[in-house]
């Protein structure tokens, strides 16, 4: 019956040139800042703007009252003022700002959640990019036209349209009940087309559905079972692009990373094989993790380094999975459950003590020989010293997209005499909370700014403000901090770039010297989506 419902016309190829014309002003130019200001002014006089202003006035009044109560409480005038929250900091949250002194913040709730702004610092990979790391995998996105636009543009940007296909969902699919059959028949057409063009079936096909499928209660089991039965030699993998329904407490990127390994089939375990899981960039082959393991006879596998589908499948034979980036957590849980692979969490550290602790943990689990910590530490010290000699007292700003643990990184730099002025972060990872607390004590005036708060859309960037005041140089570590500071002197660091441990500190120190000496065309560089992604 399903076969009778098949219609070829439901599948259409993504257009070859699908680029947005015009628009998309960059905040870097002074002209765009003027545009932003103009819109802000216009908004202030609108009904919404006036309503917001009145809300702010009420908020300020509450804040004032709260402060008075807190003062009264401190002076012993009130028995229990209540509702002062963490260490009396809750009053600060009533005044909704995008930037605070670190000592005014609570590490568990940095900024209120609300309207978000995504800056055009786009080097991180998305759900359209990371599956491309699986050699030979083809992506099929099934969604309405409006949703397709974003992923089609992504695929076109990394020249990946020959591995990227779309099936459009239309309103009649809802009232005709053809949501399921359209996916089955559409994916069948895609696979047949690939076979005609390439002469062979693809190794794997990831079929990604969208919000409308979950809203309508797509019979997922039936669809994927039917596809697997039609194409038994192809690994059919489920994908989700659901921006409107959070079906679990997992981040969508965590789910995506789990699915990136979902095609791995059980294999006999090799006790001398280890996987690195959950990062778009390969773990530095000179890092202590890789060096320790390889010197002790281990094979270290990493998805970004897999060149063939067989190499990818070999990851199933590893006995241990290491995850350095938080997005790998769910994948490791799933692989442990499905393939019986052990897991070890080694979040990219920036303190010597933490590096030693993590590597010792790896040694205890695998028996891999430990490196000479003192020698490595000495080398890192020398590199940091060299960097400080060059950079001196130049203000450094860094962000939580560049480094998973930005507060540890800030602490490392401050302890070595650098002038860290601002950290951009929307949340503090549990592993970074101790460093956060220490910084709040030792450097209470250190600025912490949100990365996605809507106020950042119209905020004057630090570089722009400084240029008006005569100019000063800011060295940014990360694309977000480069964008918000407006500097051209920046280290293009995304998700640690795979830099780990002492070696990672050395690489960063070298990169900071290089960035300080050679300005970059930041707007041009950071607007490129998914740095390094190719099909």
CA–CA separation, 12 vs 16, rounded Å?
12
According to CB under 8 A, which residues from 379 to 408 bind another protein? none
Nearer to another protein, 223 or 476 (CB): 223
223-282 residues in contact with another protein (CB under 8 A) are 248-249
Helix (H) or strand (E) holding 33: helix 30-44
Residue 109 CB, nearest approach to another protein (Å): 18
Site for another protein in 143-182 (CB under 8 A): 177, 179-180
Contact indicator for 444, 102 with CB cutoff of 8 Å: yes
Query: Which C-beta is closer to another protein: that of 170 or that of 460?
Result: 170
Nearest partner of 288 among 342, 358, 383, 345, judged by Cα: 358
Please, which residue, 180 or 302, has the CB nearer to another protein? 180
Sign, CA dihedral 307-313-314-318, equals: positive
List of residues 6+ apart from 386 with CB closer than 8 A? 509, 513
State yes or no: residue 80 binds another protein (CB under 8 A): no
**How many other CB atoms are there within 10 angstroms of residue 308's CB atom?**
11
Of residues 88-107, which lie at the interface with another protein (CB under 8 A)? none
Q: Tell me the window of 219-227, 258-266, 378-386, 413-421 that interacts with another protein (CB under 8 A).
A: 219-227
Backbone angles phi, psi at 398, to 5 degrees: -140, 165
Under the binding rule (CB under 8 A), the answer on residue 221 touching another protein is yes
Give the whole-angstrom CA distance, residue 204 versus residue 264: 10
DSSP bridge pairs for 207: 140, 238
Please report how close the Cβ of residue 216 comes to another protein at its closest, in angstroms.
6
User: What does the block give as tokens for 121?
Assistant: 């610092």
Coil, helix or strand for 506? helix
The packing angle between helices 501-517 and 352-366, to 10°, is 140
* Cβ nearer to another protein, comparing 179 with 509: 179
Q: Residue from 58, 215, 365, 467 that binds another protein (CB under 8 A)?
A: 215
Cβ-contact 477, 398 below 8 angstroms: yes
CB of 1 to another protein, least distance (A): 5
235 and 263 Cβ atoms separated by less than 8 Å: yes
Cβ nearer to another protein, comparing 21 with 229: 229
Pairing of strands 447-449, 99-101: antiparallel
Return the number of the residue (226 or 395) whose C-beta is nearest another protein.
226
Minimum distance from CB of 7 to another protein (Å)?
18
Dist. CA 136–CA 155, nearest whole Å: 15
Kindly state whether residue 51 participates in binding another protein, applying the rule CB under 8 A.
no
Give the number of residues written for the chain: 535
Query: Under rule CB under 8 A, which residues in 118-137 are in contact with another protein?
Result: none
Our CB check for another protein shows the closer of 181 and 503 to be 181
Which residues, numbered 179-198, are part of the site for another protein (CB under 8 A)? 179-180
Minimum CB distance to another protein smaller for 129 or for 182: 182
Please identify which residue in 116, 219, 310, 389 interacts with another protein, judged by CB under 8 A. Answer: 219
Inter-CA distances, 263 with 185, 312, 528, Å: 22, 9, 29
Region of 186-194, 209-217, 413-421, 429-437 interacting with another protein (CB under 8 A): 209-217
Q: Does 217 interact with another protein (rule: CB under 8 A)?
A: yes
Nearest distance in Å: CB 220, another protein: 10
Q: Which stretch binds another protein (CB under 8 A): 127-135, 155-163, 215-223, 284-292?
A: 215-223
Structure tokens that stand for 529 in this block: 């989506």
Phi and psi at 142, nearest 5°, equal -115, 105
**Is residue 1 involved in binding another protein (CB under 8 A)?**
yes
Task: Please tell me whether residue 430 binds another protein under the rule CB under 8 A.
Answer: no
The span from the CA of 400 to the CA of 496, in Å, is 10
Question: C-beta of 188: minimal distance to another protein in Å?
Answer: 16
| Number of residues engaging another protein in binding (CB under 8 A) | 13
Give the residue from 361, 342, 384 showing the smallest Cα distance to 289: 361
**Near another protein by CB under 8 A: residue from 36, 211, 216, 525:** 216
Nearest to another protein of 179, 513 (CB atom): 179
Which listed range, 218-226, 329-337, 371-379, 502-510, lies at the site for another protein (CB under 8 A)? 218-226
Contact status: 4 vs another protein (CB under 8 A): no
Question: CB of residue 219 vs another protein: minimum separation in angstroms?
Answer: 6
Q: How far, CA to CA in Å, does 325 sit from each of 282, 346, 512?
A: 11, 8, 22
CB of 81 within 8 A of CB of 72?
A: yes
Could you tell me which of 314, 309, 311, 303 has the C-alpha nearest to residue 267? Answer: 314
Q: Which is nearer to another protein, 168 or 214 (CB)?
A: 214
The region, left, alpha or beta by phi > 0 then psi within -120 to 50, assigned to residue 113 is beta
Name the minimum Å distance from CB 413 to another protein.
Answer: 39
**CA dist 420 to 23, 130, 139, 443, Å?**
35, 32, 42, 10
Of 9-17, 83-91, 214-222, 353-361, the segment contacting another protein by CB under 8 A is 214-222
How far apart are CB 222 and another protein at their closest, in Å?
A: 5
- Residues interacting with another protein, by CB under 8 A? 1-2, 177, 179-180, 215-217, 219, 221-222, 248-249
């Amino acid at each position: 019956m399903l076969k009778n419902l098949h219609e070829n016309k439901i599948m259409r190829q993504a257009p070859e040139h699908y680029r947005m014309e015009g628009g998309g002003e960059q905040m870097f130019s002074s002209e765009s800042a003027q545009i932003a200001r103009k819109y802000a002014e216009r908004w202030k006089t609108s009904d919404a703007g006036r309503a917001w202003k009145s809300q702010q006035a009420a908020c300020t009044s509450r804040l004032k009252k709260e402060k008075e109560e807190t003062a009264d409480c401190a002076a012993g005038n009130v028995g229990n003022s209540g509702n002062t929250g963490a260490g009396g900091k809750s009053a600060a949250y009533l005044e909704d700002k995008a930037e605070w002194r670190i000592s005014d913040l609570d590490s568990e709730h940095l900024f209120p959640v609300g309207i978000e702004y995504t800056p055009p610092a786009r080097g991180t990979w998305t759900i359209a990019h990371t599956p491309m790391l699986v050699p030979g995998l083809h992506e099929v996105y099934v969604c309405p036209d409006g949703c397709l636009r974003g992923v089609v543009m992504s695929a076109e940007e990394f020249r990946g349209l020959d591995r990227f296909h779309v099936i459009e969902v239309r309103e009649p699919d809802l009232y005709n009940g053809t949501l399921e059959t359209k996916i089955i028949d559409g994916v069948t057409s895609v696979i047949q087309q690939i076979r005609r063009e390439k002469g062979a079936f693809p190794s794997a096909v990831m079929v990604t559905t969208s919000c409308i499928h979950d809203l309508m209660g797509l019979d997922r089991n039936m669809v994927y079972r039917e596809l697997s039965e039609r194409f038994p030699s192809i690994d059919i993998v489920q994908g989700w692009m659901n921006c409107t329904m959070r079906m679990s407490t997992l981040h969508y990127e965590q789910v995506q990373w789990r699915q990136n390994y979902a095609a791995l089939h059980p294999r006999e375990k090799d006790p001398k094989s280890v996987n690195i899981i959950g990062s778009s960039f390969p773990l530095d082959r000179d890092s202590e993790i890789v060096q320790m393991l390889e010197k002790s006879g281990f094979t270290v596998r990493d998805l970004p380094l897999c060149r063939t589908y067989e190499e990818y499948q070999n990851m199933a034979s590893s006995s241990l999975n290491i995850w350095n980036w938080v997005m790998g957590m769910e994948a490791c849980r799933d692989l442990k459950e499905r393939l019986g692979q052990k897991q070890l969490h080694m979040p990219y550290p920036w303190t010597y003590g933490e590096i030693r602790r993590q590597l010792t943990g790896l040694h205890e689990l695998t028996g891999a020989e430990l490196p000479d910590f003192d020698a490595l530490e000495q080398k890192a010290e020398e590199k940091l010293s060299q960097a400080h000699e060059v950079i001196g007292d130049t203000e450094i700003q860094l962000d939580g997209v560049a480094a998973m643990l930005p507060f540890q990184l800030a602490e490392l730099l401050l302890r070595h005499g650098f002038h860290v002025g601002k950290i951009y972060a929307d949340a503090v990872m549990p592993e970074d909370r101790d460093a956060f607390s220490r910084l709040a004590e030792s450097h209470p005036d250190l600025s912490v700014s949100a990365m996605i708060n809507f106020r950042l859309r119209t905020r004057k960037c630090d570089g722009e403000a400084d240029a008006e005041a005569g100019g000063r140089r800011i060295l940014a570590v990360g694309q977000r901090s480069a964008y918000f500071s407006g500097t051209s002197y920046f280290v293009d660091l995304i998700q640690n770039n795979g830099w780990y441990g002492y070696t990672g500190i050395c690489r960063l120190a070298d990169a900071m010297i290089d960035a300080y000496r050679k300005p970059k065309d930041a707007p041009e560089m950071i607007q490129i989506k998914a740095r390094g992604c190719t099909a």
